[in-house]
A and B are shown apart, each in its own frame.
Chain A
Amino acid sequence: MSIQIQNVSKAFGSFQALDRINIDIQTGELVALLGPSGSGKTSLLRIIAGLEELDQGAILFDGKDITDVNPKERNVGFVFQHYALFRHMTVFDNVAYGLKVRPRKTRPSKADIQKKVTELLKLVKLENFADRYPSQLSGGQRQRVALARALAVEPKVLLLDEPFGALDAKVRKDLRRWLRKLHDDFHITSIFVTHDQEEALDVADRIVVMNNGKIEQIGSPEEVYDHPNSPFVYDFLGNVNLFKGRIQNGKLKHGSFEADIPELFSQNHEEAIGYVRPHDIQIEKTKISEDAVHTTISHIHIIGPIVQIELKRTDAEEFLEAEVTKEHYHSLQLKVGEQVYVRPKQLKVFIPEDFSI
């Protein structure tokens, strides 16, 4: 089922949670709503589910306006961050709930319910836990029960609110891979909310980056990661180094640093910030170009195959972070305290006034 979100706004008192949001979601897509807390992502998800009312705008499912439709008639599966399982019911009864509450005409027979629930429990690998109560399960297991429960009603849309937020890192990774696989097998249009950029990049087909109730950028994970269209997106998706300076004749200048910015050819700006990802920073032992900065290595962290290097600029009281592969690190033979030159391989410049409101 495709979902259109048209011009949706929502305020809580004087706080504008959502401000004219427009998103088109295709059938079978897996979309991540990514943003910091308070960005409105959860409000948007709850509005799609019908758990929250919107102030203006419309929600369309397959082109049909469902803005005023009761949540119980939307055929939406909702998964909560804290699972929201019925704790007085067994795992089996939790999953069967959505089928059992149907009106008699459409309610499946007892045998059919049994069959369906067993199938779903097998899918979430909990077939041996049918008689347990939620309190007897681990967090990861509980969230799988919640997923099975949501899937039992054969929803056209699956909405997940920070589904893995309360789980520990390892379980989280397993579950999100599993969710991706589930989605690839069933092709249910799914939207999940997360504040974890890694999770969004890892799982989603498309990412909607939100901030302050507005959409910052919509695009595939590569698009938003490699070509962020605003400083916020740059900052929010992964680590970033800043070069705060000015643009003079199409060049970003800061201290002894000077770099050509082709897209700002012959322009002048008082204020400009260059953004560089740590893995786009080249470390060299000698100065070979104007855009190299003289630095001192202040810290080296080796994390598996990646080496993180913290550098202090000698021309300014600023620190830079670089990421190199282990091989490259060994071939350079870097040591703490060593003086090296640092050059951004890819630099994106934003002029602040374009983004200040």
Chain B
Amino acid sequence: MNILPVRKRKRRNIIPGFGLSLGYTMLYVSILVLLPLSMVFINTTTMNWSEFIETITDERVVASYKLSFGTALAAGILNVIFGTIIAWVLVRYPFPGKRIVDGLVDLPFALPTAVAGIALTTLYAPQGWVGQFFDFKIAFTPLGIIIALTFIGLPFVVRTVQPVLQNFNGEVEEASASLGANRLQTFIKVILPELIPAILTGFSLAFARALGEYGSVVFIAGNMPMKTEITPLIIMTKLEQYDYAGATAIATVMLVVSFLLLFIINMIQWVTNRKFLHS
């Protein structure tokens, strides 16, 4: 009697092209993201440890970290609040010129950032159109930086929240109302939780973008050491002085901290997603 050998069959995925697409993704990410980023670390290693510590803990540099992370965070939060409102209005209410407003939202992406910086500076300078109405300075202070960063990060939250709101099941709101909830309760307890993942995504995008922003900020910031000098500017300055190792050392700090922050945001998102999108 012949016994057919039980052959272990290779598991095949129903969706074709897994190997190819994964390989491509890995290669692409490596060449485009990992390789340049690892150069930052490699370049930094030309310094010794004490030089490294000295560079990254320089008083002026530390002040710039605080400014950069602080203003990026503030801009991210502002964008969350106003971006959500804009997305809400664009999805929920019909009004004349809606499409134009919808198109305007993307403009900060299209505009060269230096142009945005110059425009904002002229507006918010003490003698500018807007600046003259305030008794305190806006341009050339951290406030001005926040305005520039909010401007360039505006589309992120709007564009991530908008589709989620668009697909939102209106029946759920009606269910909430028929159960006796008022509008505010419905928004906070029913709608907002569904938007949180999108808002978080928008926030992390806007925040990351703001952290690395250079072009628009250098004009409005005034670049006073210790006060309105952002980290990317310090890196630029060092590069101009051919201090490549110093520049990459500071970049390393930025990179590690940004990575940690984005990682934390992703973790939060993962937890909130898991809550209702299957576990």
Q: Do the beta carbons of A135 and B277 come within 8 Å of each other?
A: yes
Query: Residue B48 at the A interface, CB < 8 A?
Result: no
Q: Which residues of A contact B (CB under 8 A)?
A: 49-51, 70-78, 80, 82, 84-88, 97-98, 101-102, 133-136, 146, 149-150, 152-153
Determine which of A80, A87, A97 lies in contact with B276 in the assembled complex, contact meaning CB atoms within 8 Å. A87
- Band of interface residues on B: 20 to 34
Q: Which of A49, A73, A82, A101 has the largest count of B CB atoms less than 10 A from its CB? A: A101
Q: A88 to B278, alpha carbons, bound, how many Å? A: 10
Point out the residues of chain B lying under 8 angstroms from A153, CB to CB. 179-180
Q: Give per-residue flags for B263-279: 1 if the beta carbon is below 8 A from chain A beta carbons, else 0.
A: 00000000000011111
Asked if residues B276 and A102 are in contact (CB atoms below 8 Å), the reply is no
Residues of B near A150 (CB, < 8 A) are 178-179
Q: Of B113-121, B134-142, B189-197, which stretch is located at the interface?
A: B189-197
By beta carbon, the residue of chain A nearest B170 is: A84
B172 lies within 8 A of A86 (CB): yes
User: A71 near B178 (CB under 8 angstroms)?
Assistant: yes
Closest to B277 in A: A135
Q: Which residues of A are found within 8 Å of B177, using beta-carbon distances? A: 51, 70-72
Q: Report how far A80 CA is from B169 CA in the complex, Å.
A: 12
Instruction: Sample 5 A-B pairs with CB under 8 A, ordered by A number.
Output: A50-B178, A72-B178, A85-B175, A133-B276, A134-B276
Complex alpha-carbon distance, A51 and B175, angstroms: 9
Residues of B within 8 A of A73 (CB): 180
Task: Give CA–CA (A82, B194) in the complex, Å.
Answer: 18
C-alpha spacing A88/B168, complex, angstroms: 13
Chain B residues positioned under 8 Å from A101 (CB to CB): 176, 179-182, 185, 189
Which of A51, A70, A74, A150 is the most central at the interface, judged by chain B CB atoms within 10 Å of its CB?
A51
Check if A135 sits within 8 Å of B276, measured CB to CB.
yes
| Contact assessment for B174 and A72 in the assembled complex, using a CB-CB cutoff below 8 Å | no
Whether the Cβ atoms of A97 and B176 lie closer than 8 Å is yes
Q: Which of B174, B182, B185 contacts A78 (CB 8 A)?
A: B174
**CB–CB A84/B172 < 8 A:** yes
The 6 closest A-B pairs by CB, nearest first: A98-B179, A84-B171, A101-B181, A88-B276, A78-B178, A84-B175
Q: Could you list which residues of chain B lie within 8 angstroms of chain A, going by C-beta atoms? A: 169, 171-172, 174-182, 185, 189-190, 193-194, 275-279
CA distance A220 to B171 in the complex (A): 31
Looking across the interface, which residue of chain B has its beta carbon closest to that of A52?
B174
Given A84-B171, A84-B172, A88-B194, also A136-B279 (CB < 8 A): yes
Residues of A within 8 A of B171 (CB): 80, 82, 84
Name 11 extra pairs, CB < 8 A, besides A71-B174, A135-B276, A135-B278.
A51-B178, A74-B178, A75-B180, A78-B174, A78-B175, A82-B169, A86-B172, A97-B181, A98-B181, A133-B279, A152-B179
A133 CB contacts on chain B under 8 angstroms: 275-276, 279
A46→B207 CA distance, assembly (Å): 44
**Contact: A149 with B179, CB < 8 Å?**
yes
CA distance A86 to B191 in the complex (A): 9
The distance in angstroms between the C-alpha atoms of A231 and B279, with both chains bound, is: 52
A51 to B174, CA, bound (A): 7
Q: Among B176, B177, B190, B279, which residue has the most Cβ atoms of chain A within 10 A? A: B177
Which residues of chain B are within 8 angstroms of A152 by Cβ–Cβ distance?
179
Cα–Cα, bound, A70→B181 (Å)? 11
Q: Which residue of B lies closest to A75 (CB)?
A: B180
- Give CA–CA (A87, B195) in the complex, Å: 12
Q: Which of B179, B275, B276 has the most CB of A within 10 A?
A: B179
Q: Given A84-B172, A84-B174, A135-B276, check contact A98 B194 (CB 8 Å).
A: no
